[in-house]
Amino acid sequence: MKIVVCGACGRMGSLIIKNVVKEKDMELVGAIEAPNTELEGKDIGETIGIGHVGVKIRGANFLKEVLKDKDPDVLVDFTTPNAAVENIKTASKMGVNLVVGTTGFNEEQMKIIEDCVEKNNIKAVISPNMAVGVNVFFKIIEDLASLLEDYDVEIIEAHHRHKVDAPSGTAMKALEIICDKRGKSKDVAVYGRKGIVGERSDEEIGVHAIRGGDVVGDHTVMFLGNGERLEIIHRAHSRQAFVNGVLRAIRYIKHAKPGKISDMKDVLGLR
């Protein structure tokens, strides 16, 4: 499978590339960075410390040319919401399938992405967290949301100091899963608390983001009742956890339904 990686020099993109070049059934054919990058034309392998791989870094302003020239099977995007939307528009128009891990999309951006996938009838796996453990965590909290239906829920996440979006995409997905299961709108979320906020309502779900150091990604969902609480915690020790899921998502693409966004539940057979 021919792969183009967007965000090639980033924390995730570079680790994805280090993995892809070792896989027998995958070939790295493109490494895309920010538009007008000063790394333009440099070998991606030399830049990320794995030696010459024969693929030049190109700015996203050349994405169309790269896709036309290399005709990849999948474009993998781990960038920023604005960058990802532009990359997705370009790739989908050219019939290139997608694996997207970028987080922080707003509702309008998600709608644009859904339209791109549907109108161009491409295949896509999009998930805020590609780790196998997190996707099992999602399944468990969905069950607990109804098993402990009258328990208060609070969501806490912790990430490294460089993360730009908050709360994490994973925390927002956890909120969505619990709200859907309990038949509530996501507007019940309370993002942090300060001051005389009054007693907690039954409805609200607190969402709290911690930032600091090099934390790879921790997520906790607390179900709090009278006299007890149940906490479900996932801790990523290494970004390799996410990359293992990315490789599975790339391989799943040929089985994915065209015109529809698949997620890691589909990839991992958790439906």
Ligand X SMILES: NC(=O)C1=CN([C@@H]2O[C@H](COP(=O)(O)OP(=O)(O)OC[C@H]3O[C@@H](n4cnc5c(N)ncnc54)[C@H](OP(=O)(O)O)[C@@H]3O)[C@@H](O)[C@H]2O)C=CC1
Which residues are annotated binding-site positions for (S)-2,3,4,5-tetrahydrodipicolinate?
A: 160, 169-170
For the bound state, the minimum distance from the C-beta of residue 182 to ligand LZUJQKHR, rounded and expressed in Å, comes to: 22
- Check residue 7 for interaction with ligand X (CB under 6 A): yes
**The one among 37, 97, 120, 170 contacting ligand LZUJQKHR by CB under 6 A:** 170
For the bound state, the minimum distance from the C-beta of residue 171 to ligand X, rounded and expressed in Å, comes to: 11
For the bound state, the minimum distance from the C-beta of residue 138 to ligand LZUJQKHR, rounded and expressed in Å, comes to: 11
From residue 253, alpha-carbon distances to 1, 67, 76, 257 in Å are 10, 17, 11, 8
Stretch that binds ligand LZUJQKHR, among 79-87, 168-176, 220-228, 249-257 (CB under 6 A): 168-176
Separation between Cα atoms, residue 121 and residue 102, nearest integer Å: 21
**The one among 217, 243, 256, 261 contacting ligand LZUJQKHR by CB under 6 A:** 217
Residues, the chain: 271
Q: Which structure tokens are listed for 80?
A: 């920023």
Q: Which structure tokens are listed for 189?
A: 């979320």
- Point out the catalytic residue in the list 56, 89, 159, 208: 159
Separation between Cα atoms, residue 127 and residue 264, nearest integer Å: 6
- Is residue 237 annotated as part of the catalytic site, yes or no? no
- The sign of the CA dihedral 219, 137, 112, 186 is negative
* CA distance between the termini of the chain: 26
Binding site for ligand LZUJQKHR (CB under 6 A): 103, 128-129, 159, 163, 168-170, 217
